[in-house]
Structure 1
């Protein structure tokens, strides 16, 4: 059972949840009057944020982090941006891992060129470099950097180390650049929601099952959106820290800002085992702590779960699915038809064989699935069994070399291989479509983090489509032992005998470059031919003209749709090369439209006659000049940019390229009903685009223009009512836009045209 409280709650003595409306009960228990404002300071999250806040105002936080981390899809762009902004060295431990473009299998030398760039940057600026195949980003940070009371910032959305007492946040690269320049992470104090755990997981129920049950309960309502999830209650003690890590990393899929857990002796043992006992301290809420909501989870009642395509919140109990296969799978097929837009076929009901569901592939991998405990349990299920020699296959990716080494020493790898599983090295590829892509029309069951469309590597635009369902490693192994017939782990009785883990950091000592506080400023960065600088972006003008280049009316637009993952990852170091893929799997005509607008703006900046470049603009400006006080508006003084309308964009990855790709080919603004995540909206602003919103349904269409007068002045105001005009031929219609709250720095970044320009202006860099 997962229950959501419809109001704030008090947690008393860490054990009893009292709804806000019954605060008198709190007084009866404690014998003290209740002060909600003081009780808000009683959360673990408050104490950690207070310790890292550099402002004198806890309502408007300016946070500095203890460490940062990026992988090889993101670190090149971040370092290039920081370098262009005047960075001289890394001011905090900055870990560069190589767990995404690990295989160096696409684009010739370009992936390994990025890796060499990262190593050279670690030497020059004083960073930590983790070579390919050694560890996935989040497992390395758990093992070597997370600690109680710390804060870590990462350029991957699954930056979550709450089970180790660390508040970690996944953000776009621009926010990491600010930290590299000794600036702050600015955010309004977030709401804090208690996740109250009671009971203990049943045998065969794994961390992914608990996580999916929570995601299914909170995602659609936005219950924890941009809030901190604080895990408390007696149920925490029923799980090991390794198990808790598997739940914690999935909190990203709820759209929360961060997570934190109460700590205990097991946390202490985990940190001591990894050679860092000094990083432990007990973290508990105060005797009376106030939370903005509560997710009540009875762990006893959670059963093996499955998240069907195409979102982690599309959750069912496996038994429920197996009892209603036809009806449930047909609903997924309808969604697949919408996603493919008729460009590819995907079916599930044809996989029902004798009333059971036959799947084609199983994957246990990454920061969610590749943990020691999960792999041990998978081996239990497969001991003495086999995956069969038909269409089903199973691949297992231990999350780090130390985990891999111990699994080898304990004979677990041999057991898995004897059952027919393929063992691979630490690699995040299956999580984002760059490894183990299933067959066309295939269904893959995965203990990974996401099952968005195309994250398994399919290309509907080319007629290729497959899909992923998320499951726990235990049920995946049970399915493998049954030849690929979907099977709940509850059907087996082999669970719970977990031998003690032995961590050996020797591989890190031998292979990881430890350069923090050892910057060698005379070293040169090593560039490959694909690594390009950011193109020049102009400052915002007083008036802007936006051309609608895409209109997406889907309920949610993911970052994978804005800029696809998979093979495009090889171009993340080449801004213009990557931008060619923008919206390619959702609106293939967008890039051509936006580049045409960008040519107009580049011509305007060179002093060319924009009416000669695009004759229809003469009619547009004639219409604009009929607006009161705008008779003298000049085309040569008006910035021209492209615009995307989407209902709710930005769910999923932290990748800043979802915004930068729009910007470098002419993007100047988005208009939305709301933004799915804070991190995507931050990316939009850091790349100099205006994050407009509107409450009305959009009546404009692709090809129409939207004129916004006095935008710089509007950015200095309250942002609540910004008048704009829809222009179509000689017709005009007034629009009312608004922008959610922006910090003073964010306003200046947008006016400067991007974060790079803003920093150059501050530092006087020409």
Structure 2
């Protein structure tokens, strides 16, 4: 039986384990990336591990989330990140240069490579045949030091594309269709591998739109084969010599299959407040729109903004609607400006923002109260835009621009009929990507060779080894799909403390219960209880680290999002799975006790744990963990575990293995 493309890349990088679905493996990582909200911890942990230099082929540090530098804390963090990149040997992308995924695609991503990134949308380069996976920052730090990355072999699902996209349908509609069919939980434990004749009709930028937003399916990664389109894109960005052909075998065996006929797609839109709440645009046509934003790492490239510019040429944005362009990279901004499109859009009433993640995480361009915002972003979780009870829709640049012109949601096909002279702008790449790289600093050109820490940068807290007794109150009971934005908000007020855990912890779960941090500290121990898909969204490890700092011992949930579950292990919080009946019975404030000798049970491989509630009734909880994850958990987290091994501890793998 032949191999999938995923299996070929994994086999080529395998250092430990067997390539069998569900089994844990360790792979060698070629490239790593970090951004400014996660990167401070990556480098602080790299320092704490007493590592001397980057050992991966390439490491890149980007400043893309809080580029506005509201006060010295943000600016100090960026200076620290620049100094860390220079000290340890990473490329450094200065604030304003662009979003990590866009800049990395333009400069570094390459076919057949593996990449680990401390951002959940790291799979973006899958559109050019790179197997890229999002993870917590501690995993990135260890990989950057030369250690393998461990994860369970996912199912590989074939997404067979047939036909070609019709007028006004785009790559964004492909991934929205996937979300409509499969939901935000449909990709958990899976890698989506795109095949079929329809692949040839999609350029690399279109493919990366799909792989970027595949994260919203909960997928480990998404990947396309490489072909002449890949070679063509690499030549246009000046890296044609990096092209390699990677294809699955004709008789590759997939775990499942999804078939999409591209020719049958129409403009789609995700309604508030979940990326899988997808309907045809025509179903919500007529809804008044107050704000439109083109941009983000999903649809902020030159090729995404150009169709909008063409649609706006000679026209004006509706006076009731504000329209903003937030480019994915400075290169995109520069190219549009040199070609005159920036002036054309400004003349139409469009405002241009810095190339940043800002609005996507609620920093800048926050919607007005009781308003509708159409965005070409990848997430519309409730409150993520910076205001609670928001109404954020997700759509393609073409649908967003049509709404800006009309002042209400409208299918662009219908607007074209109404205006008479509006044509589908189509998809167009430049002959050559010519933007400057002045803001991308090579390690050999780094101005720093020692760490520079401002007063807001604290040390990474460590957790004690797992004890035999775990008990405490149920500090908070939550529902399904609690995101990392709920756990550790990413707004401007909170995010400036990303490198100061004692301060950042004060915001933990305040979007669910504003009194939680104080109550958790007073309890000096306890648990969180949640429904399905707990911890979906961002890779930020703060969502595990901050609860740990507040004394939380573990989480009892019906299911966990992949990256967050790994982060819970990495910071010594036990993730136990409970059934729906147990979830329904537990109340907030109930005393929770794990009856077993927890440390011994974890180390010995025990899977079922008895949980006693209020000395009144008992339930069974499950721990799904590999032997390596159990050792990490028992040692109080991956940082403590790795330091213990370096000091000659007896349990688990050697430092080089972990």
8 Å contact from structure 2 (residues 334, 435) kept in 1:
no
For residues 763 and 398 of structure 1, the distance between their equivalents in structure 2, rounded to whole angstroms, comes to 44
Pairs within 5 Å for 1:74-473: 74-92=38-56, 93-105=58-70, 108-160=71-123, 161-219=125-183, 222-322=185-285, 356-390=286-320, 392-458=321-387, 460=388, 465-473=389-397
Q: Which residue of 2 aligns with 1:43?
A: 4
CA offset at residue 431 of structure 1? 1.2
- Spell out, residue by residue over 1:631-681, the C-alpha distance to the aligned partner (whole angstroms, 9 max, x if none): xxxxxxxxxx22100012111111111111100110110011111x21010
CA displacement at 1:734 relative to structure 2: 2.5
8 Å CA contact 1:205–1:490 kept in 2: the answer is no
Q: SS in structure 2 opposite 1:555?
A: coil
Structure 2: any 5+ residue segments left out of the alignment? Answer: 417-421, 650-658
Listed one character per residue, the Cα deviations across residues 483-536 of structure 1 (whole Å, up to 9, x for unaligned) are x2211122324224555415456621x2321117x899x932111111111234
Which segment is superposed worse, 292-301 or 177-186?
Answer: 177-186
Compute the displacement of 1:745 (Å). 2.3
Give the secondary structure class of the aligned counterpart of 1:650: coil
SS at match of 1:716: helix
- Counterpart CA distance in 2 for 1:593 and 1:503 is 57
Unpaired segments of 5 or more residues in structure 1?
A: 1-37, 323-355, 599-640
Normalized against structure 2, the TM-score is what? 0.93
1:326 counterpart residue number: none
Secondary structure at the residue paired with 1:580? helix
Deviations 1:113-138 (A, max 9, x none): 10000010011111111001112110
- 1:474 and 2:401 equivalent? no
Change (3 A) 1:536 1:254: closer
CA distance 1:485–1:700, shift in 2 (3 Å): closer
CA contact (8 A) 1:246 1:371 kept: no
Runs of 4+ in 1 over 3 A off after TM superposition: 496-500, 502-506
Counterpart secondary structure, 1:643: strand
The CA deviation string for residues 533-571 of structure 1, in whole angstroms up to 9 with x for no partner, is: 12342111122223210011x222111111112222111
Q: Which residue pairs with 1:569 in the alignment? A: 495
Question: 1-side partners of 2:503 and 2:258: how far apart?
Answer: 44
Deviation at 1:321, TM superposition (A): 2.3
- Spell out, residue by residue over 1:412-465, the C-alpha distance to the aligned partner (whole angstroms, 9 max, x if none): 11111111111122111111111210101111000011000111101x4xxxx4
Residues 376-397 of structure 1 show CA distances to partners (whole Å, capped at 9, x for unaligned) of 100111111101333x100012
Q: Which residue of 1 aligns with 2:412?
A: 489
Shift of 1:697: 2.2
**Partner Cα distance (1:56, 1:663) in 2:** 30
Matches within 5 A, 1:492-571: 492=416, 493-496=422-425, 498=427, 500-504=429-433, 507-508=436-437, 510-515=438-443, 523-552=449-478, 554-567=479-492, 568-571=494-497
- Pairing of 1:613-628 with structure 2 (within 5 A): none
Residue equivalent to 2:419: none
| Residue deviations 1:76-122 (CA, integer Å, cap 9, x gap) | 011111211222111122111111010112xx211111000001001
Taking structure 1 as the reference length, the TM-score comes to 0.80
Q: Secondary structure at the match of 1:281?
A: coil
Partner of 2:554: 669
CA distance in 2, matches of 1:578, 1:451: 23
- RMSD (Å) for aligned C-alpha atoms: 1.8
1:764 aligns with 2:647: yes
Question: Measured at CA, do residues 319 and 519 of structure 1 come closer, stay the same or move farther in structure 2, by a change above 3 Å?
Answer: closer
**Preserved CA contact (<8 Å) 1:371 1:403:** yes
2:598 — aligned with what? 711
Matched, 1:585 2:585: no
Name the structure 1 match of 2:566: 682
What corresponds to 1:754 in structure 2?
637
Maintained 8 Å contact 1:205/1:489: no
Q: Distance in 1 between matches of 2:334 and 2:612?
A: 63
Q: What residue in structure 1 maps to residue 654 of structure 2?
A: none
- 1:146 is paired with a residue of what secondary structure? coil
Shift in Å, 1:373: 1.6
Give the distance between the partners of 1:84 and 1:765, measured in 2 at CA: 17
> Which residue is equivalent to 2:576?
692
Local SS of the residue matching 2:600: helix
- Cα distance change of structure 1 residues 498 and 691 upon mapping to structure 2, 3 Å threshold: closer
Q: Is the CA contact (8 Å cut-off) linking 2:483 and 2:536 kept in structure 1?
A: yes
Q: Note closer, same or farther for the CA distance 1:523–1:252 as it changes in structure 2 (3 Å cut).
A: same
Instruction: Report the 3-state secondary structure (helix = DSSP H, G, I; strand = E; otherwise coil) of the residue aligned with 2:96.
Output: coil
Q: Deviations over 1:343-367 (max 9, x none)?
A: xxxxxxxxxxxxx211100001121
Aligned counterparts of 1:719 and 1:194: Cα–Cα separation in 2: 35
2:78 alignment partner, SS class: helix
Q: How many residues matched?
A: 633
Whole-Å separation in 2 of the counterparts to 1:410 and 1:499: 14
Say if 1:505 and 1:385 are closer, same or farther in 2 by CA, change over 3 A.
closer
Cα separation, partners in 2 of 1:594 and 1:162, compared to 1, 3 Å: same
Q: Distance in 1 between matches of 2:338 and 2:229?
A: 23
Distance change in 2, residues 1:437/1:150 (3 Å): same
Deviation at 1:733, TM superposition (A): 2.4
Give the greater-gyration-radius structure (CA): 1
**Residue 735 of structure 1: CA displacement?**
2.5
Aligned match of 2:656: none
Name which of structure 1's ranges 224-233 and 588-597 shifts more when overlaid on structure 2.
Answer: 588-597
Is the counterpart of residue 734 in structure 1 residue 618 in structure 2? yes
Partner SS for 2:386: coil
Distance 1:223 1:702 in 2: 29
Change (3 A) 1:689 1:498: closer
